[in-house]
Amino acid sequence: MRDNRIRITDTADILYAAANEKTTLVYTPDGEFYVHYTISELMTQLPANFFRCHRSYCVNLDKITEIAPGLNSTYHVFLPGIPHPVLVSRSNLKAFRERMQL
């Protein structure tokens, strides 16, 4: 939702989502939108190509363009059109490596 309008978006267009208290910000190539779900609730509605990479983030694995090592055994994931990386936490690192076949 943005500007009191409901945006219909194909899940394939979602780059990643970030927790924001009781709502979640969903990032697409067309901008960012709020959904009235927690990130956990949103994850139950997303297809299998989405991965909960951090307590506050889930990412569309099909949209990842680059993976870089971060501090303290983490990864930074880069997505098209997003200027900042998305963090893969240490606790999710093993599952992420398996899903990405690293």
CA distance 83 to 49: 22
SS3 label, residue 78: strand
User: Which of 74-94 are b and which e, b meaning 16 or more Cβ less than 10 Å from the residue's Cβ?
Assistant: bbebebeebeeebbbbeebbe
Per-residue pLDDT of the chain in tens (102 residues, 90 and over written 9): 566 778 788 899 999 999 988 889 999 998 999 999 999 999 999 999 999 999 999 999 999 999 999 888 899 999 999 999 999 999 999 999 999 998
Paired sense of beta strands 50-54 and 86-88, if any: unpaired
